[in-house]
Structure 1
Amino acid sequence: LNEQRRIVAKLDRLFARSRCAREELGRVSGLVQRYKQAVLAAAFHGDLTADWRAENIASTWATIPLSEACLSITDGDHQAPPKVEKGIPFITISAINDGKLNLSKATRFVSKSYFESRSPQRKPAKGDILFSVTGSIGIPVLVDTCELFTFQRHIGILKVNKNLTLEKYLLYILGSEQIKRQGLDVATGTAQLTIPLGGLRNFQIPLPTLEEQKEIVKRVEKLFKVIDIIEQEHQKASKLLDRLEKATLSKAFRGELVPQDPNDEPAAVLLERIQAERQTQPKRKAKSTRKPKAN
């Protein structure tokens, strides 16, 4: 019994420390997102490349509507398309809600003839940007595949004007807090927010030269890579913490967690004493399981 008490006390102390570690690790995901938004804020206020502008002759930044940075801005199908068993994937927001295009999440398909009947502005191509406009609003995703697919009206599609804007520059700015605030300002609805296309086209974005856009993208991606490594280490630490707790329990119940005390009552003596106490107790009569006879 004394050793049991020492084991429990030791486990309580160790698990209290692991709970603190788990709470600290739980803060990392939120901090990672804050760091990324801080990087984007610095990028699109011009602070991230201030030293670059000092060394390079660059024109001043302009602020333009999003529609001027794109050849077209529209959305997906407003009516449910006719389904086929196999064909071209038809995606919903679930295929982009983690910030990357995942066509494997398509739950339905359309025929190629249906796809071909869509207007060119609604046919995704590599380099286009998808942007969620209903429900989980404000998620930008770069189309990084040549595979054919189509999508519902909850997703907007931006055909980038490459003479003015780099695809990745526009992608990163659409993921910034300043764009999210503009989206919330123009969104309609209560149960399900919707950014109207007119509001989306009128988003105001900062526009430096193409050369500075390239520098901004390079620096943002370099910093994001460091932040992503922190996130990966956080995930590894969380898994190691789970393994540590299991290993601690295994060690405890192998008798290796706390030192044994030779003055403690040996387990064999304890078991003999328990057996002797049971034998001295009066035996209880077993309840009869027989049913009474019917009269």
Structure 2
Amino acid sequence: MNKIPKGWEKYYLSDCFNAISIKNKIKTKDYLPQGKFPIIDQGQDFISGYSNDENLLIKVKKPIIIFGDHTRCFKFINFDFIAGADGIKILEPKDNFNEKLFYYFCQILDFPNKGYSRHFQYLKKAIINFPKNLSEQKAIVDKLDDSFAKIENAITNLINAKENLKLYKQSVLKSAFNGDLLPNTSPTHWEVKKLGEICEINPKTEILLLNESDEVSFIPMASVEAETNIFTESKSKFSKVKKGYTKFRDNDILFAKITPCMENGKICIVNNLKFGIGFGSTEFHVIRPNKNTLSKYIYYFVSQISFRQMAQIYMTGAVGQRRVPSKILENFEIPLPPLSEQNLIVAEINRRFAIVDKTLNLIDKSIQNAKNLKQSILKKAFSGELRSEI
């Protein structure tokens, strides 16, 4: 962007728009899940709730850009709205700047990683190359709109493919526990057991003789991915975690008991823990299968969406702090084949999931490549490289 194309000008961004700080705000406690008017708040999507209060409504005469100072995010909107949290600003491009092209430029701004109070100041000082001719601005917008529509359509198709693969994984689990995943297994001789009969729920974990300064495995809730059986282990001093945290050992299953982590599927089998033991969030239930039950078999069972939906029904506590009681896990019935068949079933689930997960990884890479392509096209647009294509 060092060389300015012919017919273009260099501007400070502050010369291109009028900034309006929003004074009428609605408190978070008054957000509704549905309503007449969207509430604009901080975040990627900006719409954080709804209200029916017309007295707080901000009328939009023409398309505007919303800027979240805290999150460094932009949104191009042309609908009336109500303002939410602090740090939301309206950016109204001046008459000689196409609103949509101005918005597109904002997508390639590289904010410094500093306190959010400086984001708007940086925005005002940023330099933009812009064609002076409004018709050329409109032509670039049309080209970007067309390119981005195709990219977004491709991304939507990829996301739909991901969802279909996730549904397939759930159908595999349903077949496994119905007894029809493998042709040579039959559920007629399976037992039906309560989970508490074949597993210890929140068992006592014997701690070896450790020194206060020893580093031990620590797993907070944020370190467990949803629906992947992947966790990231950190290390902490034994003296800091020996009290007030959940204790577990290798091959235990950690099951998030609090909303929304439980519904999202934050569940994992822990292994390769230092000293064979670990410590983590108190919001985990620990499930420890007995010697005749495979951890992976139990993990797959409790990973089913149907299991989590049932557990959700029996959650107790206040909104936002609802938890699955341990008794619900203990009394939940599970079909249990002999250990040899558990091994066969788990092996088949592993085989099918490995193929699906490989495909999901390819889809994720394709989605990221599509997003990178959008950024590449935007940079071309504001260096003048799209002019030859218009």
Question: If the length of structure 1 is used for normalisation, what is the TM-score?
Answer: 0.69
Residue 193 of structure 1: CA displacement?
Answer: 1.7
CA distance in structure 1 between the partners assigned to 2:365 and 2:143 by the alignment: 25
1:198-241 deviation line (CA, Å, top 9, x unaligned): 22111111111222211211111111112112211111112221
Aligned partner letter, 1:173: F
Deviations 1:246-278 (A, max 9, x none): 44456663367538xxxxxxxxxxxxxxxxxxx
Q: Which residue of 1 aligns with 2:334?
A: 205
* Native 8 Å contact 1:7 1:258 kept in 2: no
Q: Which runs of 5+ in 2 are unaligned?
A: 1-132, 206-211
Choose between structure 1 and 2: higher strand proportion: 2
Question: Is the CA contact (8 Å cut-off) linking 2:247 and 2:280 kept in structure 1?
Answer: no
Q: In structure 2, the residue corresponding to 1:218 is in which secondary structure?
A: helix
1:133 corresponding residue in structure 2 = 257
Aligned to 2:30: none
Tell me if the contact between 1:76 and 1:152 (Cα under 8 Å) persists in the aligned partners. no
Identical amino acids, percent of aligned pairs: 29
1:230 aligns with 2:359: yes
For residues 10 and 67 of structure 1, the distance between their equivalents in structure 2, rounded to whole angstroms, comes to: 61
Aligned to 1:124: 248
> TM (normalized to structure 2)?
0.53
Higher RCO (C-alpha under 8 Å, 6+ residues apart):
1
**In structure 2, how many angstroms separate the alpha carbons of the residues matched to 1:95 and 1:250?**
35
Matches within 5 A, 1:153-232: 153-163=282-292, 165-191=293-319, 192-232=321-361
Distance 2:267 2:159 in 1: 26
Q: Residue 248 of structure 1 contacts residue 257 of structure 1 at CA under 8 Å; is this kept in 2?
A: no
Residue 348 of structure 2 aligns to which amino acid in structure 1? R
User: Residues 168 and 208 of structure 1: is their aligned pair in 2 closer, same or farther, counting only changes over 3 Å?
Assistant: same
- Whole-angstrom distance in 2 between the partners of 1:48 and 1:133: 29
* Residue 100 (structure 1) aligns with: 230
Separation in 1 of the partners of 2:313 and 2:179?
A: 24
- Which structure shows the higher helix fraction? 1
**2: CA distance between counterparts of 1:133 and 1:170?**
16
Q: Given residue 230 of structure 1, which amino acid in structure 2 is its aligned partner?
A: T
In 2: Cα distance, 1:180 partner to 1:213 partner: 21
Q: How far apart in 1 are the matches of 2:281 and 2:368?
A: 37
SS of the residue corresponding to residue 188 of structure 1 reads coil
Verify the 8 A CA contact 1:90 1:109 in the aligned structure 2: no
Aligned counterparts of 2:184 and 2:152: Cα–Cα separation in 1: 45
Task: Report how far residue 85 of structure 1 moved.
Answer: 8.1
Q: CA RMSD in A?
A: 3.3
1:132–1:139 contact (8 Å) kept in structure 2: yes
Q: Shift of residue 63 of structure 1?
A: 1.4
Contact 2:249–2:278, Cα closer than 8 Å, also in 1: no
Unaligned runs of 5+ in 1: 78-83, 260-295
**Pick from 235, 252, 269: which aligns with 1:142?**
269
Q: CA deviation at 1:185?
A: 3.1
> Residue type of the partner of 1:170?
I
- 1:52 correspondence with 2:184: yes
Question: Contact conserved, 1:130 with 1:140, CA < 8 A, in 2?
Answer: yes
How many aligned residue pairs are there? 241
Q: Partner amino acid for 1:172?
A: Y
CA distance in 2: counterparts of 1:134 and 1:258, whole angstroms: 53
Helix, strand or coil: the match of 1:88?
strand
Deviation, structure 1 residue 6 = 5.9
CA drift at 1:171:
1.0
1:148-176 deviation digits (Å, cap 9, x = unpaired): 3223432121221122x111111111101
Query: CA 1:5–1:146 in structure 2 vs 1: closer, same or farther (change >3 Å)?
Result: closer
Q: What is the SS of the residue equivalent to 1:47?
A: coil
**1:66 pairs with one of 195, 211, 215:** 195
CA 1:220/1:257 → structure 2, altered by over 3 Å: closer, same or farther?
A: farther
Shift in alpha-carbon separation, 1:178–1:113, aligned structure 2, 3 A = closer
1:234 aligned partner, one-letter code = I
The Cα offsets for residues 101-140 of structure 1, whole Å up to 9 and x where unpaired, read as 3222x6x64329947xx9xxx7522212121222322632
Deviation of 1:59 after TM superposition, in Å, equals 5.5
